[in-house]
């Protein structure tokens, strides 16, 4: 989606991706299929590009540092290295005065017994690196379950986070230009299923004051990181309306996909603008939007019947062109646009129900 936004603005794009069937690689003007740490591949990328960005946080920071010697790289290795590790991420947030869920670092099995983890149970054990879409996470209710889960996660360095009773989850995409200009997108209200984003409702059904607080917090985080590019901040809202930071992503975010169809500037165009030193675009939302993810589970009887989405003339379908549909894998999304958020939600859920019922009818 970044590639298409860059091409729309007249740029030619090279993609580096280890996946042979990379959808971004197919769309780009040039595709280097190689590991993110492959030195000759990085050299080629650095030689033929003027500016480099990422849509994926698990690029080795060292690779970004190397590229920064020959071209503009944003976000920079520092921001990415903080966001790609749950421990450095939480330490950065806490040090800078932001509130996160209570947590502890779990490094060694025999340390669990000596660590005071009782206050963090029930909790969620999360691998510190490379987890996404709820992967590398296990709910644990007791010390015994914690020890078992830690073994199941291959004794990788983890964080144990207290399970928080959530009122809602919110997120904000913020862009910061190289002159420090900040522009936030409207706040998304996100519903997850099994740790995977299911639905984003935008604007979030919160007061304008609360939305401003959420956006302001995202801006402060971008400033503390001296961030350049597009950053997403995920929030937990507790029952008493207390706001916690869940995590940050140094890239456009699934919960910001609604902006492609519902805002004057999409999060991907904003990423192009921030990277290329262009003025940031207006983030004004022109339609209420509900985005629904399409996971690989829907493909269990083959390609879903897209007429079920397209028969709603206000639904915009996006398919990513991934060749293999695995359960839980994000294959696409649709966004329903209306003037009223409740109507958008109702219509989006009606389409979702039809897609799911079709699976049940034809098992």
- Considering only the stretches 2-10, 114-122, 166-174, 233-241, report the one whose residues sit in contact with Mg ion under the rule CB under 5 A: 233-241
Residue 330 binding: pick among Mg ion, ligand ADP, none (C-beta 5-8 Å cut-off by kind)? none
Q: Is 57 in the site for ligand ADP (CB under 6 A)?
A: no
Nearest-angstrom CA–CA distance, 85 and 93:
12
Q: Coil, strand, or helix at residue 201?
A: strand
Which residue of 64, 100, 101, 351 would you call a contact of ligand ADP, by CB under 6 A?
A: 101
Q: Which of residues 149-188 bind ligand ADP (CB under 6 A)?
A: 161-164, 166, 169
Q: Which of residues 113-142 bind ligand ADP (CB under 6 A)?
A: 124, 126, 131-134
Q: Using an 8 Å Cβ cutoff, are 66 and 42 in contact?
A: yes
Residue 192 binding: pick among Mg ion, ligand ADP, none (C-beta 5-8 Å cut-off by kind)? ligand ADP
Nearest-angstrom CA–CA distance, 347 and 190:
17
- Binders of ligand ADP: how many residues, by CB under 6 A? 18
Nearest-angstrom CA–CA distance, 146 and 59:
29
Q: Which of residues 219-278 bind ligand ADP (CB under 6 A)?
A: 234, 246-247
70 Cβ neighbours under 8 A, 6+ residues apart = 46, 47
Phi, psi of 222 (to 5 degrees): -60, -40
Contact pattern for ligand ADP over residues 7 through 26, marking x by CB under 6 A: --------------------
Burial tier of 324 (Cβ tally within 10 Å: 0-12, 13-18, 19+): exposed
Q: What is the length of the chain? A: 363
Nearer to Mg ion, 85 or 312 (CB): 85
Q: Which residues bind ligand ADP (CB under 6 A)?
A: 101, 124, 126, 131-134, 161-164, 166, 169, 192, 195, 234, 246-247
């Amino acid at each position: 989606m970044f590639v298409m936004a860059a091409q729309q603005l007249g740029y030619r794009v090279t993609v580096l991706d280890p996946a042979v069937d990379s959808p971004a690689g197919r769309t780009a003007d040039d595709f280097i299929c190689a590991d993110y740490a492959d030195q000759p591949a990085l050299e080629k990328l650095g030689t033929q590009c003027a500016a480099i960005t990422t849509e994926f946080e698990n690029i080795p920071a060292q690779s970004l540092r190397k590229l920064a010697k020959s071209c503009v790289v944003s976000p920079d290795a520092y921001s990415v290295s903080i966001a790609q590790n749950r421990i450095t991420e939480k330490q950065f947030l806490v040090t800078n005065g932001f509130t996160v869920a209570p947590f502890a670092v779990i490094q060694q099995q025999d340390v669990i017994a000596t660590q005071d983890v009782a206050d963090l149970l029930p909790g969620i054990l999360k691998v510190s690196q490379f987890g996404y879409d709820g992967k590398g996470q296990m709910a644990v209710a007791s010390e015994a379950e914690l020890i078992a889960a830690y073994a199941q996660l291959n004794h990788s360095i983890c964080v144990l986070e207290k399970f928080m009773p959530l009122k809602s989850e919110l997120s904000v995409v913020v862009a910061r230009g190289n002159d420090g200009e900040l522009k936030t997108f409207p706040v998304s209200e996100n519903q997850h299923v099994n740790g995977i984003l299911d639905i984003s409702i935008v604007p979030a059904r919160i007061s304008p004051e609360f939305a401003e607080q959420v956006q302001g917090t995202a801006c402060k985080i971008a400033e503390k990181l001296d961030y350049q590019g597009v950053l997403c901040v995920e929030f937990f809202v507790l029952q008493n309306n207390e706001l916690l930071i869940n995590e940050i992503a140094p890239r456009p975010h699934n919960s910001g996909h609604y902006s492609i169809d519902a805002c004057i500037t999409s999060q991907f165009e904003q990423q192009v603008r921030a990277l290329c030193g262009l003025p940031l675009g207006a983030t004004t939302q022109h339609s209420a939007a509900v985005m629904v993810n399409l996971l690989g589970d829907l493909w269990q009887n083959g390609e879903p019947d897209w007429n079920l989405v397209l028969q709603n003339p206000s639904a915009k379908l996006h398919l990513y062109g991934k060749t293999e549909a695995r359960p839980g894998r994000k294959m696409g999304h649709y966004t329903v646009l209306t003037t009223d958020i409740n109507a958008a939600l109702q219509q989006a859920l009606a389409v979702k129900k039809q897609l799911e019922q079709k699976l049940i009818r034809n098992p």
